[in-house]
Amino acid sequence: MKVYVLNGPNLGRLGTRQVDVYGVTSYADLVELCRDTGRELGLDVEVRQTDAEHEMLGWLHAAADEQAAVVLNPGAWSHYSYAVRDACAMLRGPLVEVHISNIHAREQFRHHSVVSAVATGVICGLGVDGYRLALTHVAWSAAASG
């Protein structure tokens, strides 16, 4: 099963950006974690990161066309990008929204995600382990559905 792990703005700075909030795991380590977890679960995982909204939209459109599953950390786009939300609504495979930090325990503007309403599920506040849990859910869902 094809799964895209898509990361939005500033996530390429993991390990150096606000380590008190996001931890010390580097982006390269996150990519390795996702790929290793995917292999263990029998998933074909492709991990991508962009700071360009139009690029993210293109990836979401491609995932919709492929009927692929998506694990998405939209970063700041979670809170205001209706374009990302609308692209997510086109997905035909599962969509798990992931946030490394607990967005509900942070600044007020982070408490709402426009993406959550179209996601299969949301994981937040569990650090990079949220990605492992999201991939596990996708694999479990695929096995349960046949």
Question: What amino acid is encoded at 59 in this protein?
Answer: W
Residues in the chain: 146
* 0.85 surpassed by pTM: yes
- Enumerate the known binding-site residues: 73, 79, 86, 100-101, 110
CATH class of 2-144: alpha beta
Catalytic residue positions, numbered: 22, 99
- Can you list the positions of beta strands (E) in the chain? 2-7, 44-49, 69-73, 95-99, 121-124
Q: Which residue ranges make up each domain of the chain?
A: 2-144
- Digit-by-digit pLDDT tens for the chain (146 residues) are 999 999 999 999 988 887 777 777 899 999 999 999 999 999 999 999 999 999 999 999 999 999 999 999 999 999 999 999 999 999 999 999 999 988 877 777 777 899 999 999 999 999 999 999 999 999 998 888 76
